[in-house]
Amino acid sequence: MILTDKTLTAARKRLLQMHFESGVGHIGGNLSCLDAMMLTFHEYVGDEDRFILSKGHAAGALYITLWSLGRLSNDTLKTFHKDNTLLAGHPPASGINDILFATGSLGHGLSLAAGTALALQLKGQSGNVYCLTSDGEWQEGSTWEAMIFAAHRRLSNLTILVDHNNLQGFGSTHDVASMSPLTEKLSGFDLDIQYVDGHDLSAIRTAIDKPSDKCRIIILQTIKGHGVSFMEDRMEWHYLPLKEEQYKLATQEIEAL
Amino acid sequence: MRQQLCDALVSRSVNPDMVFLTGDLGFMALEPLQQGMQARFINAGVAEQNMVSVAAAMAREGLDLWVYSIAPFCYARPFEQIRNDVAFHNLPVKLIGNGGGYGYGVMGPTHHAIEDYGILLTLPNMRVFIPVFDEDVDAVISHAGAAQNPSYLRLGRGEIPLGFEVPKYAPWRQLTAGGGMVVIVAGPVAGTYIDAFQSLPEEIRPNFWIVSELPLEKNPLPLELLKQMSARQDLCVVEEHVRRGGLGSELALLLLEKKIEVGAFHHLYARAHHYATYGSQNFLRAQSGIDVKSVLAVVAQKSLEF
């Protein structure tokens, strides 16, 4: 099912609404990866495939993506971050079929994705595994353990999407612990590495569609807070909730995109 | 117990869903398993965090997962992966730690595992299996394999006196009976007490029990043991594990909850990760006061006083 601009805009607006109504932050890192997540789910993740969100703090984007597919209701979204909700600040351990693992501690998802991909291979199943990581979590040693494993096992059914928005918890990735350019750091592995505009759906499609017999990494050049001028590329939107005026302005800007 | 482990797993590996992951260990022990399992025997390299998460994911896909390493590398290094990826999802991953307790002796404290089951039992759904004798391993593999929960198998080196007939595996077993105190022991160190306890006069010979499965709420105390303890006998708990979080503290809580009054409560345990000098497992047991001589000093003397 082709992801339309209309559907994507609706998802962006619903993301802002959910975060505003719940008074919850983490908006910047959700907007940076929402486009790629929506595209992956709408066009690539079928029943036989798996998606693992390694950057668990983008749970909002994941919930909205599932909502856009009709798998979570508006009533459920209203419970986001509230007591007695399934929609915690990071993906839950159970209760939502499309969410396989409770992530949130960075550096776990890539290993989980590699294990899933290997399991599918051993079982002779044809599904693909998609894993979305942040860029900051490539500072975790376990991510590199997973990379060694995935490359060595030549997990060609594994596609890793890196939300490379250049901002992490308390500074830019460049200032905190630079791995720039990440493509060079990864180039020693026997992988299929691509670097694309993470807000260009056509470019992401082309990258995912490219045939490969290796594990694939698609580094998505993204903008934290994408689509909202006062959020874009600003670290505080890793954390801040929206005030009412900001919410209205942000919604207008999203509609005008 | 590595030979018995290999034999048991080779038998189990006829199950095509079984997958074995090792953190680059098993030389001169697991080669038959490697040859038998082929692609389903995976050397994950020196990368335990990744190995445990991979295991969790494969178990999530319905495969039968066994993970093997030296005990501390099996649970301490990848603790968060065990907690988040295995335990939070109640996935039946079987973690096998070789050389539990002071098993790696003179190799030093980095290789000791004397807080392993205490730490792991803080996690939801976790089961712990501690075989006492080499002969227990086959049954322990079956029990852990049948469980629908995560589990940790603490392997060591079985030690039995000449001519001793190992009783069939059970989560609780009584090895000696007499008029002395109740002694409960976890792990292979129990085997080193058998001769000495059997040699004691009947009136001070302990009611000597071994326990191989924790937590106790999943492995209730046998009625006979409860009866013996309810007679206000002294109780001695011995384990090659630190004081906090171990069998001793779990048992003490259980006694309080059940309002069982025992006489004196003696807890003998692994007192330190390392001492001023290094040595074998037996040396470290003696340093900690859990060698047979130290245990006898408690069991025989206290019984005589009683």
Q: Kindly report, residue by residue over A87-124, the tens digit of the pLDDT.
A: 999 999 999 999 999 999 999 999 999 999 999 999 99
Mean pLDDT of A58-76: 98
CA distance A80 to A86: 8
Distance in Å, alpha carbon of A112 to nearest chain B alpha carbon: 5
Of the given ranges (A159-163, A182-186, B93-97), which has the lowest mean pLDDT? A182-186
User: Phi first, then psi: what are they for A115, rounded to 5°?
Assistant: -65, -40
CA distance A232 to A228: 6
In chain B, residues with a C-beta closer than 8 Å to the C-beta of A103 are 84
Q: Is B56 on the interface with A (CB under 8 A)?
A: yes
Distance in Å, alpha carbon of A217 to nearest chain B alpha carbon: 18
Is residue B164, in this structure, part of any structural domain at all? no
Give Cα separations from B186 to A207, B212, B236, B247, B295 (angstroms): 56, 6, 12, 8, 13
Q: Is A130 on the interface with B (CB under 8 A)?
A: no
A149–B47 C-beta distance less than 8 A: yes
Is residue B165, in this structure, part of any structural domain at all? no
Which of A108, A123, A148 comes nearest B47 by C-beta? A148
Q: Is B47 on the interface with A (CB under 8 A)?
A: yes
Query: How many interchain CB pairs under 8 A, A with B?
Result: 90
Distance in Å, alpha carbon of B248 to nearest chain A alpha carbon: 32
Instruction: Identify whether the C-beta of residue B119 lies closer than 8 Å to the C-beta of residue B80.
Output: no
Structure tokens at B172: 């609780």
CA distance B37 to B64: 13
pLDDT of B122 above 70: yes
- Answer yes or no: do B200 and B289 share one domain: yes
- Quote the mean pLDDT of chain B: 95
In chain A, residues with a C-beta closer than 8 Å to the C-beta of B80 are 105, 108
Q: Kindly report, residue by residue over B54-98, the tens digit of the pLDDT.
A: 999 999 999 999 999 999 999 999 999 999 999 999 999 999 999
Q: Is A123 on the interface with B (CB under 8 A)?
A: yes
B50–A119 C-beta distance less than 8 A: no
Q: Is A100 on the interface with B (CB under 8 A)?
A: yes
In chain A, residues with a C-beta closer than 8 Å to the C-beta of B53 are 108, 111-112, 115, 142, 146
A112–B47 C-beta distance less than 8 A: no
CA distance B185 to A65: 54
Mean pLDDT of B186-214: 97
Is residue B160, in this structure, part of any structural domain at all? no
Residue B306 pLDDT level (bands cut at 50, 70, 90): very low
CA distance A210 to A235: 33
Q: Of A145, A75, A153, A61, nearest to A103 (Cα)? A: A61
Could you tell me how many residues make up chain A?
Answer: 257
Distance in Å, alpha carbon of A248 to nearest chain B alpha carbon: 38
Distance in Å, alpha carbon of A115 to nearest chain B alpha carbon: 4
Query: Is A229 exposed, middle or buried (CB count within 10 Å of its CB: 0-12, 13-18, 19+)?
Result: exposed
B57–A101 C-beta distance less than 8 A: yes
Is residue B166, in this structure, part of any structural domain at all? no
At residue B103, the pLDDT reads: 96
Q: Is A155 on the interface with B (CB under 8 A)?
A: no
In chain A, residues with a C-beta closer than 8 Å to the C-beta of B73 are none
Instruction: Identify whether the C-beta of residue A66 lies closer than 8 Å to the C-beta of residue A96.
Output: yes
Instruction: Identify whether the C-beta of residue B161 lies closer than 8 Å to the C-beta of residue B194.
Output: yes
Q: For B41, which residue in chain A has the nearest alpha carbon?
A: A122
Sign for the pseudo-dihedral over CA of A229, A230, A232, A237: negative
Which of A94, A105, A120 comes nearest B80 by C-beta? A105
- Answer yes or no: do B181 and B294 share one domain: yes
Q: Of A54, A197, A187, nearest to A129 (Cα)? A: A54
- Answer yes or no: do B12 and B66 share one domain: yes
Angle A59-68/A5-22 helices, nearest 10 degrees?
130
Residue B173 pLDDT level (bands cut at 50, 70, 90): very high
Whose structure tokens read 């190992």?
Answer: B166
CATH code (residue B186):
3.40.50.920
Q: Kindly report, residue by residue over B261-281, the tens digit of the pLDDT.
A: 999 999 999 999 999 999 999
> A60: how many CB neighbours lie within 10 A of its CB?
27
> B258: how many CB neighbours lie within 10 A of its CB?
12
Q: Is A115 on the interface with B (CB under 8 A)?
A: yes
Mean pLDDT of B45-52: 98
pLDDT of B208 above 60: yes
CA distance B71 to B120: 12
- Answer yes or no: do B188 and B297 share one domain: yes
Q: Give the torsion through C-alpha atoms of A57, A59, A60, A66, to 10 deg.
A: 160
In total, how many domains does chain B have? Answer: 2
At residue B61, the pLDDT reads: 98
Instruction: Identify whether the C-beta of residue A48 lies closer than 8 Å to the C-beta of residue A127.
Output: yes
CA distance A226 to A232: 6
At residue A257, the pLDDT reads: 86
A149–B44 C-beta distance less than 8 A: yes
- Answer yes or no: do B32 and B143 share one domain: yes
Percent of chain B exceeding pLDDT 90 equals: 92
Angle B2-12/B137-146 helices, nearest 10 degrees?
50
Q: Tell me the sheet residues that pair with B173.
A: B210
- For A29, the enclosing helix (H) or strand (E) is helix A27-43
| Cis-peptide into B215, omega within 30 deg | yes
Range of the domain at B27: 2-154
Sign for the pseudo-dihedral over CA of A81, B84, A106, A197: negative
Which of B61, B62, B84 comes nearest A108 by C-beta? B84
At residue B230, the pLDDT reads: 86
Domain boundary among B122, B154, B186: B154
Which DSSP category does B169 fall into?
A: P
- Answer yes or no: do B143 and B266 share one domain: no
Q: For A147, which residue in chain B has the nearest alpha carbon?
A: B50
Is residue B38, in this structure, part of any structural domain at all? yes
* HSE (side-chain half, CA atoms, 13 Å) at B278: 10
Mean pLDDT of B159-179: 95
Sign for the pseudo-dihedral over CA of A172, A175, A181, A183: negative
In chain A, residues with a C-beta closer than 8 Å to the C-beta of B45 are 145, 148-149, 152
Q: Of B82, B81, B53, B52, nearest to B69 (Cα)? A: B52
In chain B, residues with a C-beta closer than 8 Å to the C-beta of A119 are 19, 57-58, 60-63
Structure tokens at B190: 């129990």
Q: Kindly report, residue by residue over B227-250, the tens digit of the pLDDT.
A: 999 887 899 999 999 999 999 999
- Answer yes or no: do B146 and B247 share one domain: no
Give Cα separations from A254 to A35, A59, A68, A69, B140 (angstroms): 13, 20, 16, 20, 59
In chain A, residues with a C-beta closer than 8 Å to the C-beta of B61 are 116, 119-120, 123
Q: Is A94 on the interface with B (CB under 8 A)?
A: yes
Q: Is A257 on the interface with B (CB under 8 A)?
A: no
- Answer yes or no: do B185 and B220 share one domain: yes
Structure tokens at B271: 């007192």
- Answer yes or no: do B18 and B116 share one domain: yes
Domain boundary among B154, B182, B197: B154
Whose structure tokens read 């309080």?
Answer: B256
Whose structure tokens read 């040595």?
Answer: B279
Which DSSP category does B87 fall into?
A: I
Instruction: Identify whether the C-beta of residue B54 lies closer than 8 Å to the C-beta of residue B35.
Output: no
CATH architecture of A5-256: 3-Layer(aba) Sandwich (3.40)
A122–B19 C-beta distance less than 8 A: yes
At residue A179, the pLDDT reads: 84
At residue B302, the pLDDT reads: 57
Q: What b/e readout covers A129-141, taking b as 16+ CB neighbours within 10 angstroms?
A: bbbbbbbbbbbbe
A102–B84 C-beta distance less than 8 A: yes
- Answer yes or no: do B178 and B112 share one domain: no
B88–A111 C-beta distance less than 8 A: no
Sign for the pseudo-dihedral over CA of A137, A143, A147, A150: negative
- Answer yes or no: do B80 and B223 share one domain: no
* HSE (side-chain half, CA atoms, 13 Å) at B71: 31
Distance in Å, alpha carbon of A116 to nearest chain B alpha carbon: 5
Q: Is B93 on the interface with A (CB under 8 A)?
A: no
Is residue B298, in this structure, part of any structural domain at all? yes
Which of B47, B53, B61 comes nearest A108 by C-beta? B53
- Answer yes or no: do B119 and B221 share one domain: no
Of the given ranges (A52-56, A245-249, B230-234), which has the lowest mean pLDDT? B230-234
CA distance A222 to A240: 19
